[in-house]
Structure 1
Amino acid sequence: MKRTGTIITLIVILIAFSAGIWYIYSKDKTDPIVYETEQASTKTIVKKTVATGSIVPKEEVLIKPNISGIIDEIFVVAGDVIKSGDLIAKVKVVPNVNSLSSAQNNINSAKTQVETSRLAFESQKSIYNRQKELFDKGVISANEFDQAQLSYDQAQQRYNQEKVNLGGAQQTYSIVKTGTARGLGASANTEIRATVGGMVLDVPVKTGNQVIESNNFNDGTTIATLADVDKMIFEGKVDESEVGKISENLPLEITVGAIENKKFDAVLDYIAPKGISENGAIQFEIKGTLAKKDTTFIRAGLSANASIILAKATDVLALKEALVQYDTETKKPYVEIATGDQEFERKDVELGVSDGLFVEIKSGITKDDKVKVWNQLKPAGPGGPGY
């Protein structure tokens, strides 16, 4: 038994010795870890968020008729540049039978009133003339003559007023029948004119289309849409996760898909106070006024992207953000710089603006320092880089 125990002990020792030799051999065969290095460089770092939208005029004016009817003639097309007061279209009035009949009845009634007041005036005029003769001869008193003159003046005033009423009834009839009347000028006119100057963006009607006047109960038919294309804005939306990062008066860089190799400067001047739910996400409307510095024509409605510049650092020392580490306890940033062959030393750094790829280095390292890259590489050769 004693001999058997000795043999077992020797076998265990032999196995342990063989395992140790194999471990040492394997360690000698393992390639050493190699770390590459990179250096900081001078860059301009821009921190921004992107909003999608379109380019639209700052103000659009809808030209509507002041009378209902049928388009008789159109004098402009989309793209024309016109001035305030220029003729856009003519409307031919199609009178309503009931309105026309009512207007005609008003004329007949007014004529009757004129004739009645004329007869009354003629009667008072005769009485006045007789009383005046008697007053001149001293037959009647001044009070009696004053009463006769008052009645005469009142009759004349009523007669004149009834003539005015007749003229108004005839004018109303003319408006109902033709759309215009003598003496009203532009108040009732079949000519549709521009109320402002600018470019015609759209003419949604054609000759022969029926149009409705703008009134308290109806917006009316749009004859044309005008806008000043030199005053354009970007109109877009940002997600609720980004709206807290932006504020009014931030600079924008606008890129238009249809215009290559062009960027347009703008200023963010509106952020909607209330969001709108779209596809399960809350979106906030934003607007930015373009500052056009060249003659590039931007068509209304073009799709565009706006880069909202949150922060910008020009010509600063920058490093790839992936090379920056953070202390597990203090959470402060640091890097490791080379002090020798595969020897590194920790350096605390102060960071500035980041765009997600590069970060500004305010202090801690210089442009000449070689910063440790945290990917482990094998040396060149079988299994190494480039093999």
Structure 2
Amino acid sequence: MKKSKTIIILVTIGVLFTVSMYWLYSKNIEDPIVYETEKPAMGSIVKKTVATGSIVPKEEVLIKPNISGIIDEIFVEAGEIVKAGDLIAKVKVVPNVSSLNSAKSNISSVRTQVETARLALENQKSIYNRQKQLFEKGVISANEFDNAQLAYNQAQQRLKQEEVSLRAASQNYDIVRTGTTSGMGASANTEIRATVSGMVLDVPVKTGNQVIEANNFNDGTTIATLADVDKMIFEGKVDESEVGKIKEGLPLKITVGALPDKTFDAELDYIAPKGVDENGAIQFEIKGTMKNLDTTSTFIRAGLSANASIILAKAENVLTIKEALVQFDPKTQQSFVEVIVGDQKFERRDVELGVSDGIDVEVKSGISKDDNIKVWNQLKPAPATGGKG
């Protein structure tokens, strides 16, 4: 019995020894790791961040009526170029009954005042004539005659003032009733004119629509939107993680989705001091003025979606390598690469890095363009798998 156990133990030890020796043999016959190398290259590196937004006019002007009423006629369409003073539309006034009655009542009141002033003038005129005759005969003093003359002149002035008030009341009545009056000419309230020169971007009203005048309690109805399309800006938003990297004055490269073959230059000139929470992320508004925009060859429509590449740093004609080739000392965090010096023999070279775009990085010192750099983290090829046909 003891002899059988001994034999089993010896056989087991022999099998394990044989398996171990086979495993060691297999490891020894495996091909050694052969590291590939890459050479540095001369090139340019641009570090940038991207903001999404749209192209909008730098200034948009909303044309609103000075009086409420109904659109009687529209003279422009979206896309037309207009000059300041050009006629945009005409408004037909619908009189307000309360305002109309008030204007009528005001006219009656002022007419009564005019009639009273006229009677007072006739009375003062009679007194003045009598005093004048008495003064010429030497019956009254010069002081008494001067007082009579002053009262007569004041009565004349009072009548003139009341007549002016009557004309104003009549004009106000005409404006309430029709929106205009004689003598207003081009400034008639019923004629809506362009206040600036530019392109008509939108005419949101149609003939027959009711419009409301702009006042302290209401923004009023927009009849047309005008803008100078030669002065466009990029308006977008950047995430809070990127806003600390940018500053006013940085160059922008604008790409418009509708114009894939075009790139436009701009300059960042505004970063919002306060962020806005959008779906749990804080976004900051930015604006960039587009430069050297030639609208004769390329017309950019207001509101087109666009992306802005904000150039944070740029290095041109410099020595570059793949960022994946760089290693870092675990203790000092010094960046270095391994340069080949013999058959699969490498030596460490500390390098000074510059601008990086996340793929390539500038190398300021430590290597030359003739060095071959070890690809230390190369991927092993996938094992071949057989299959039955």
Question: Do the structures match in fold with TM over 0.5?
Answer: yes
User: For residue 323 of structure 2, what is the amino acid of its counterpart?
Assistant: E
2:146 equivalent in structure 1 = 146
The reply to whether residue 29 of structure 1 matches residue 29 of structure 2 is yes
SS at match of 2:376: strand
1:28 to partner: Cα distance = 2.9
The reply to whether residue 114 of structure 1 matches residue 99 of structure 2 is no
Q: Is the 8 A contact 2:73 2:89 kept in 1?
A: yes
SS at match of 2:339: strand
2:367 equivalent in structure 1 = 365
Q: After alignment, is 98-107 or 18-27 more displaced?
A: 18-27
1:291 equivalent in structure 2 = 291
User: CA, structure 1 residues 14+191, in 2 after alignment: closer, same or farther (shift >3 Å)?
Assistant: closer
User: For residue 360 of structure 1, what is the amino acid of its counterpart?
Assistant: E
1:271 equivalent in structure 2 = 271
Q: Is the 8 A contact 2:63 2:195 kept in 1?
A: yes
1:13 to partner: Cα distance = 8.5
The reply to whether residue 105 of structure 1 matches residue 115 of structure 2 is no
The whole-number CA distance in structure 1 between the counterparts of 2:242 and 2:97 is 61
User: CA, structure 1 residues 123+322, in 2 after alignment: closer, same or farther (shift >3 Å)?
Assistant: same
Q: Is the 8 A contact 1:35 1:375 kept in 2?
A: no
User: CA, structure 1 residues 116+293, in 2 after alignment: closer, same or farther (shift >3 Å)?
Assistant: closer
The reply to whether residue 351 of structure 1 matches residue 353 of structure 2 is yes
Q: Is the 8 A contact 1:67 1:188 kept in 2?
A: no
SS at match of 1:107: helix
The whole-number CA distance in structure 2 between the counterparts of 1:298 and 1:10 is 89
The whole-number CA distance in structure 1 between the counterparts of 2:241 and 2:44 is 26
The whole-number CA distance in structure 2 between the counterparts of 1:50 and 1:138 is 100
1:335 equivalent in structure 2 = 337
SS at match of 2:375: strand
Structural mapping, 1:1-387, within 5 Å: 18=18, 21-185=21-185, 188-294=188-294, 295-375=297-377
User: CA, structure 1 residues 376+189, in 2 after alignment: closer, same or farther (shift >3 Å)?
Assistant: closer
The whole-number CA distance in structure 2 between the counterparts of 1:86 and 1:382 is 78
Post-superposition Cα deviations, 1:301-340, rounded to whole Å, max 9, x if no partner, equal 0000000000011121111111111000110111111112
The whole-number CA distance in structure 2 between the counterparts of 1:142 and 1:363 is 110
Post-superposition Cα deviations, 1:84-131, rounded to whole Å, max 9, x if no partner, equal 111111111111111111111111121121112111111111111111
Q: Is the 8 A contact 2:230 2:293 kept in 1?
A: no
The whole-number CA distance in structure 2 between the counterparts of 1:262 and 1:225 is 27
Q: Is the 8 A contact 1:50 1:306 kept in 2?
A: yes
1:7 to partner: Cα distance = 8.8
SS at match of 1:237: strand
Q: Is the 8 A contact 1:83 1:194 kept in 2?
A: yes
The whole-number CA distance in structure 1 between the counterparts of 2:152 and 2:213 is 45
Q: Is the 8 A contact 1:31 1:378 kept in 2?
A: no
SS at match of 1:312: strand
How many residues matched? Answer: 383
Q: Is the 8 A contact 1:66 1:188 kept in 2?
A: no
1:345 to partner: Cα distance = 1.2
Question: What are structure 2's unaligned runs of at least 5 residues?
Answer: none
CA RMSD of aligned residues (A): 2.5
Q: Is the 8 A contact 1:103 1:172 kept in 2?
A: yes
Post-superposition Cα deviations, 1:150-196, rounded to whole Å, max 9, x if no partner, equal 22122212211111111111111111111112234455421111110
User: CA, structure 1 residues 376+261, in 2 after alignment: closer, same or farther (shift >3 Å)?
Assistant: closer
Q: Is the 8 A contact 1:64 1:214 kept in 2?
A: yes
Q: Is the 8 A contact 1:338 1:370 kept in 2?
A: yes
Identity of aligned residues (%): 74
SS at match of 1:56: strand
User: CA, structure 1 residues 340+378, in 2 after alignment: closer, same or farther (shift >3 Å)?
Assistant: farther
Q: After alignment, is 75-84 or 174-183 more displaced?
A: 174-183
Q: Is the 8 A contact 1:45 1:312 kept in 2?
A: yes
Q: Is the 8 A contact 2:64 2:220 kept in 1?
A: yes
User: CA, structure 1 residues 5+205, in 2 after alignment: closer, same or farther (shift >3 Å)?
Assistant: closer
User: CA, structure 1 residues 41+161, in 2 after alignment: closer, same or farther (shift >3 Å)?
Assistant: same
User: For residue 353 of structure 1, what is the amino acid of its counterpart?
Assistant: V
The whole-number CA distance in structure 2 between the counterparts of 1:161 and 1:228 is 47
Post-superposition Cα deviations, 1:60-81, rounded to whole Å, max 9, x if no partner, equal 0011111111111111000001
Q: Is the 8 A contact 1:85 1:194 kept in 2?
A: yes
Q: Is the 8 A contact 2:265 2:292 kept in 1?
A: yes
The whole-number CA distance in structure 2 between the counterparts of 1:39 and 1:21 is 42
The whole-number CA distance in structure 1 between the counterparts of 2:132 and 2:384 is 139
User: For residue 338 of structure 1, what is the amino acid of its counterpart?
Assistant: I
Question: What are structure 1's unaligned runs of at least 5 residues?
Answer: none
The whole-number CA distance in structure 1 between the counterparts of 2:248 and 2:192 is 40
SS at match of 1:167: helix
User: For residue 339 of structure 1, what is the amino acid of its counterpart?
Assistant: V
1:375 to partner: Cα distance = 4.0
SS at match of 2:65: coil
The whole-number CA distance in structure 1 between the counterparts of 2:132 and 2:107 is 36
Q: Is the 8 A contact 2:94 2:177 kept in 1?
A: yes
1:137 to partner: Cα distance = 1.2
Q: Is the 8 A contact 2:65 2:189 kept in 1?
A: no
1:145 to partner: Cα distance = 1.2
The whole-number CA distance in structure 1 between the counterparts of 2:233 and 2:355 is 29
